[in-house]
Amino acid sequence: MTVPALPTQGGHRSRSIWIDRWSVLRRHRPAMVSLMVLVLMAVFCFSASAYASWMGLDVNATDLMARFNPPSETNLLGTDEIGRDVLLRLMYGGQVSLTIGVLATAFGCAIGVTVGVLAGYLGGRADSFLMRATDCMIALPLVPLLVILAAIDLGKLGLPPEIVQSPSVSFWRIVIIISLVDWTTIARVVRAGTLTIAHQDYVLAARVSGGRAPYMIGIHVLPNVATPIIVAATLTIGRVILLESTLSFLGVGVMPPTPTWGNMLNNAQELASTAPMLAVYPGLLIFLTVITFNFLGDGLRVAFDPRSQQR
Amino acid sequence: MKIKTISRASCSALMTLVLTTAGVISAPATAASDPTKLVIGQLQFVPNSHPLIQVNNTKLFLMGFIQRPVTAFDARGQSVCLLCEKKPSLENGLAKIVDLPGGKTGMQVTLKLRADAKWGDGTPVSSQDIALTWKMAQEGALGFSNYNAWTRATKVDIVNPTTAVLHLDSVETGYDSWDQVLPSHIEGPIYAKYKTAEEYVKQSAYNREPTNPGLWNGAYTLTSMQMGAQITLAPNKFWPTAPQLKTIVLSYRSNAAALIQNLLSGDLDALPVSPGGISFSQMLTLRKQQASRFDFPVQPGYNLERLVFQTQNPALSDVRVRRAIAHAINREAISTQLFEKLQPVATSILAENSSNHSNTVTRYKFDPARAKALLTEAGWKPGSDGICINPAGQKLSIELVTTAGNQTRVQIAQVIQNQLKSVCIDAPVKQVQIGVYNGEEMRKRKFTGMGLSSIQFPPSTSPEIYLATNGIPTEKNGFTGNNFSGYSSPAMDAAVQEAERALQPAAAKAAWAKVQQIALDDLPILPLYYYASSWVVPKGMKGLDAPRYDQPTNWAEYWKRAP
């Protein structure tokens, strides 16, 4: 005896939700343009060492006789106040600024997701405590707090001198302190999503069936709050890049001679009338990066929202 | 396609771009400035208004207007009387060398105050004020930090209301330099009641009522103090010479760019050039662009920018490595390209306009080949990455620490880093906040390689604190002394003692020549360039004489703006 085949639904095959989301994102023109711009920017920044080798340039080589040179064949965007190639410093600076943006966002997400999931899943006193802690963090003035944290002497915290004096310490310091203060938005978003998911029937059924907290969180909660996490993270990257710029602008960011867009902007404060383009270039790149991440975030929000009319 | 709203973060980025590319040129002030008023921009607010506690350049700048020292150095570097009638000297008998018990020699210095010196409430400045100030310094709890310490005197005798004799237990060149005194009629009763530093600082009239005219004996008194924002000064009606300017306002901004913007918009009238104001490079830019609106007096100064070497560093303990660094740095290029030679290369530890400057000392010319030869001689050979290594395989890596927030200094640090790399020395740059630099790095000698900052050798201060073994700050001596390199040399100690005792000009010049030669031979510090003393002032302003060991504000009554 054969079992009759079930009729197909209108002749269509079922699609992965991720393919669905991608096709919606593709139709969001600002997001796609922004994505292309970001890809090009990453390629631009991370090809710095290849460009340096090709042109025979050193990002930190100073030449006091070649200060403020106009654009030329050797220095396509000219030189800065101590004779360094501006284009190369923008490229290397972008590496640092973008990497800080991505890493600090990733670490901040990790903290925010942990706090939000625990608050939403455990509820009760744990939720109250975690959310009050989040509120306290939100209430603190962000920039002064970052400046204070950036000024802490690491030697006094007990770190060995080899670490304190290593050239990468200022980079990791900025990543860590930004992620320590910038997780609150994601925590609140994740908590809200967790509260909704945690009270769904299938989740309750899984709990009744003996599912423990790690299983419930890992299998049921996290995948269902991934959407707001991804969107919030995209928007956070832009904010983190601005924070790094602000810290460098205030003189407590990544230390020279390592270039970042922020410390290039900081150096250009005194040169606004002598060489204004030294401020325009990093400022423009920061602006472009932040706005493209914002548009991408908008596009992702539409793509991930099942109720969006653009689907 | 819908037009998307630009998010707040994007607006911030756009504002950052706009603000940082805004030109320095702004619309000039629409109303003519009052020629009897001068608004001076400043970067750093004073920590308090007490003349002798937490003394720094910012405090001295303010004090020059309102609280005159007994003596000060004029443009020629000569000590002159401000509150005294006649400067004490061996020649006029107001200073004497005396024999002390135990075979020692000391001095007696007579300070005779001007009869017309009065506090702002009309009370005469008297020898009681000298005695009280000395007593408060001597008892030690208050931590007075003025440069010409009252504690050099071991005893004060009051002869009459305007005359006091100070007894010193050693012979020293600075016997004729004495700082501010405190009003005994106001601070005396307060100090009698509150002896500890914490109590006194809180209860002092300088803290509780800084606008009390009786606290001030200078050409001006403090009439208003808005913490962190503004200080207003008005003429002291009891000062003998009526000031030309009837109002002086010190107006504080958070950064140099804001100072310039406010200057060009007319909110500020004048700016000092670093310390406390804009950088020398910014002044040079303004000079090119705003020559029709402002004058830019530039005079040779006395401050010295230098590299201090940590002699406990194994590499730097070898004088050949220190000399190699001296040859590797192109100081001429730094002076020419960054300062248009207005801040000249420092050939010695004393400025060229100092009466004790020596022209015959060793010079370190820019010579990278010589630098490399010295390093090879010292056992350092280039490694595969271009950085020198010794036979044990250790890299020649010497950290360079400097103060954060000083753009010019950071630029110079990066130039030095690059120049040292070309002779195979790796010099990672570290910036720290000024408090950490002056405290942990220098005073506690935690810096591991080189430090970049400025010092001064005033005529009244013995070179001992910078160059002698006794000047090394240690835990034992409470970290006093400014010999941060830890340099110790019997020859230098002997030369310093000779300079301390050389009271006659010719003997002082010869003794200081020895000190300078030894300092350049041993190179515990490498002089880089001399600071110029400079201002940005309204066009036609007269009376502001820039170069002095002391603040030009000590002569503010002679400042006059064009009508």
Residue with more model confidence, B502 or B190: B190
Alpha-carbon distance of B446 to B459, in angstroms, equals: 29
Q: Report chain B residues whose CB lies below 8 A from the CB of A151.
A: 433
Residues 243-282 of A with CB under 8 A from B: 245, 249, 251-252, 255-257, 265, 267-270, 272-274, 276, 279-280
A286 touches chain B (CB under 8 A): yes
Query: What is the rounded average pLDDT of the residues B258-264?
Result: 91
Residues 441-480 of B with CB under 8 A from A: 446, 448
Residue with more model confidence, A90 or B46: A90
Q: How far is A219 from chain B (nearest CA, A)?
A: 34
Alpha-carbon distance of A248 to B209, in angstroms, equals: 39
For all residues of chain B together, what is the average pLDDT? 88
Distance of CA A6 to the CA centre of its chain: 48
Residue B318 has what pLDDT?
96
Strands B247-252 vs B525-538: parallel, antiparallel or unpaired = unpaired
Q: Is the pLDDT of residue A58 over 80?
A: yes
Q: Report chain B residues whose CB lies below 8 A from the CB of A279.
A: 17, 20-21
Q: Is the pLDDT of residue A276 over 80?
A: yes
CB pairs below 8 Å between A and B: how many? 125
Backbone CA torsion sign across B467, B53, B301, B251: positive
Contact yes or no for B21 and A251 at CB 8 A = no
> Which band of pLDDT confidence, cut at 50, 70 and 90, is reported for residue B11?
low
Residue with tokens 């030669």: B517
Residue with more model confidence, B49 or A155: B49
Alpha-carbon distance of B65 to B225, in angstroms, equals: 14
Q: Is the pLDDT of residue B14 over 90?
A: no
Q: Coil, helix or strand for B73?
A: strand
Closest CA to B247 of B37, B2, B15: B37
Distance of CA B13 to the CA centre of its chain: 39
Residue B279 has what pLDDT?
86
CB atoms < 10 A from the CB of A220, how many? 20
Residue A310 has what pLDDT?
52
Q: How far apart are the first and last CA of chain A?
A: 43
Classify residue B366 by burial, with Cβ atoms within 10 Å: 0-12, 13-18, 19+.
middle
Choose the weakest-confidence range: A122-131, B128-137, B454-463. Answer: B454-463
Residue B32 has what pLDDT?
55
Angstrom CA distances, B206 to B49, B52, B186, B190, B231, stand at 6, 11, 10, 11, 14
Q: How far is B236 from chain A (nearest CA, A)?
A: 38
Choose the weakest-confidence range: A155-164, A215-224, B6-15, B335-344. Answer: B6-15
List the alpha helices (DSSP H) in B139-255.
184-193, 197-203, 205-208
B141 touches chain A (CB under 8 A): no
Residue B57 has what pLDDT?
78
Cis preceding-peptide flag for B382 (omega within 30 of 0): no
Residue with more model confidence, A118 or A227: A118
Q: Report chain A residues whose CB lies below 8 A from the CB of B16.
A: 242, 245, 249, 265, 283, 286-287
Alpha-carbon distance of B425 to A127, in angstroms, equals: 56
Residue with tokens 């600024």: A97
Closest CA to A93 of A268, A276, A274, A291: A268
Choose the weakest-confidence range: A208-222, B232-246, B304-318, B488-502. Answer: A208-222
Closest CA to B39 of B311, B327, B248: B248
Closest CA to B24 of B253, B297, B258: B258
Element (DSSP H or E) covering residue B165: strand B163-168
Three-class HEC string of chain A: CCCCCCCCCCCCCCCCHHHHHHHHHHHCHHHHHHHHHHHHHHHHHHCHHHHHHHHCCCCCCCCHHHCCCCCCCCCCCCECCCCCEHHHHHHHHHHHHHHHHHHHHHHHHHHHHHHHHHHHHHCHHHHHHHHHHHHHHHHCCHHHHHHHHHCCCHHHHCCCHHHHCCCCHHHHHHHHHHHHHCCHHHHHHHHHHHHHHHCCHHHHHHHHCCCCHHHHHHHHHHHHHHHHHHHHHHHHHHHHHHHHHHHHHCCCCCCCCCCCHHHHHHHHHHHCCCCCHHHHHHHHHHHHHHHHHHHHHHHHHHHHCCCCCCC
Q: Is B207 left (phi over 0), alpha (psi -120 to 50) or beta?
A: alpha
* Residue of chain B nearest A84, judged by CA positions: B415
Closest CA to B531 of B470, B468, B455, B430: B455
> Which band of pLDDT confidence, cut at 50, 70 and 90, is reported for residue A77?
very high
Largest CA distance in chain B: 98
Residues 105-164 of A with CB under 8 A from B: 151, 153, 155, 161
Query: What is the rounded average pLDDT of the residues B42-48?
Result: 83
Q: Report chain A residues whose CB lies below 8 A from the CB of B416.
A: none
Q: How far is B322 from chain A (nearest CA, A)?
A: 22
Query: What is the rounded average pLDDT of the residues A219-243?
Result: 82
> Which band of pLDDT confidence, cut at 50, 70 and 90, is reported for residue B478?
confident
Contact yes or no for A269 and B337 at CB 8 A = no
What number is the ipTM of this complex?
Answer: 0.73
List the alpha helices (DSSP H) in B291-429.
319-328, 331-333, 339, 368-377, 407-421
Residue B22 has what pLDDT?
46
User: Which tens digits make up the pLDDT trace of B217-240?
Assistant: 999 999 999 988 999 999 999 999
Residue B237 has what pLDDT?
94
Angle at which helices B127-138 and B184-193 cross, to 10°: 30
Residue with more model confidence, A162 or B341: B341
User: Which tens digits make up the pLDDT trace of B116-125?
Assistant: 999 999 999 9
For all residues of chain A together, what is the average pLDDT? 84
Domains and CATH numbers, chain B: 25-43+219-299+533-558 (3.40.190.10), 69-185 (3.90.76.10), 308-531 (3.10.105.10)
Q: Report chain A residues whose CB lies below 8 A from the CB of B291.
A: none
For residue B175, the 8-state DSSP code is: G
Alpha-carbon distance of A20 to B470, in angstroms, equals: 78
Residue B140 has what pLDDT?
74
Spell out the residues 6+ positions from residue B524 whose beta carbon is closer than 8 angstroms to its own. B308, B309, B311, B322, B467, B483, B485, B487
Q: Is the pLDDT of residue A114 over 60?
A: yes
User: Which tens digits make up the pLDDT trace of A241-266?
Assistant: 888 877 776 667 787 788 999 888 88
